[in-house]
Every structure is written in C-alpha cells, then in structure tokens.
C-alpha cells in the first residue's frame, strides 16, 4: 500500500458516528475498531475512487497542515484497518 492506493470500505463493515468519532464493526467477524475525528473523515471518504494522497490533500487543506504528514498518518491507519479486513485495496 502506498499514497497512490485506492481504498474502499469492506461491505461487511457497518459503522456509527457518535460525537464525531466512528465505531466500525465487521458483521462477519465481530471485529471492532474506533476512529477519532480525522480517522472518521477519512473512513467516510473511502469511495473506491480516490487515492490516499487525494484524501490526504483534502484533510491537509481543511486542517492547514502538510499533505505529506497526513499521507503518512493515513497510510498507518489504513494498514491497521487492512489487517482487520475493514477495507479493500483496489
């Protein structure tokens, strides 16, 4: 996985956003994952069409931070989610 990877939410994962934080549950495995506000924004962006770098640019612009820093953070988060099969790498 790299900044050009395109990600999509796994169909078996349901989520609920409470107080700007998402709780993800894989209905097949019972795997539970929680996301902070920025992680929740990233999760909601995962449409299977844009790259990690494109998502990072959107987030970086919103929070006025460097895109490279956001790319690194999103790659780390995406790796964690991929380990639990919460996302599909296209």
Q: What's residue 90's pLDDT?
A: 87
Question: With a cut of 70, which residues of the chain have pLDDT below it?
Answer: none
Name the nearest CA neighbour of 15 among 38, 44, 42. 44
Q: What's residue 74's pLDDT?
A: 97
| Percent of the chain scoring above 90 in pLDDT | 96
The domains found in the chain, sorted by start residue, are 8-89 (1.10.10.1150)
Phi, psi of 34 (to 5 degrees): -120, 150
Q: What's residue 70's pLDDT?
A: 97
Indicate the burial class of 55 (C-beta count within 10 angstroms; 0-12, 13-18, 19 or more): buried
Cα(10)–Cα(68) distance, rounded to whole angstroms?
Answer: 26
Give the DSSP letter of residue 64: T
Q: What's residue 9's pLDDT?
A: 96
> What global pTM score does this model have?
0.92
């Amino acid at each position: 996985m790299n900044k050009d990877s395109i990600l999509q939410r796994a169909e078996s994962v349901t989520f609920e956003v409470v107080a700007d934080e998402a709780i993800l549950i894989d209905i097949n495995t019972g795997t539970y994952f929680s996301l902070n506000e920025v992680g929740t924004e990233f999760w909601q962006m995962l449409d299977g069409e844009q790259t990690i770098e494109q998502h990072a640019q959107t987030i970086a612009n919103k929070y006025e931070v460097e895109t490279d820093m956001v790319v690194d953070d999103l790659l780390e988060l995406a790796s964690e989610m991929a380990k639990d099969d919460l996302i599909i790498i296209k």
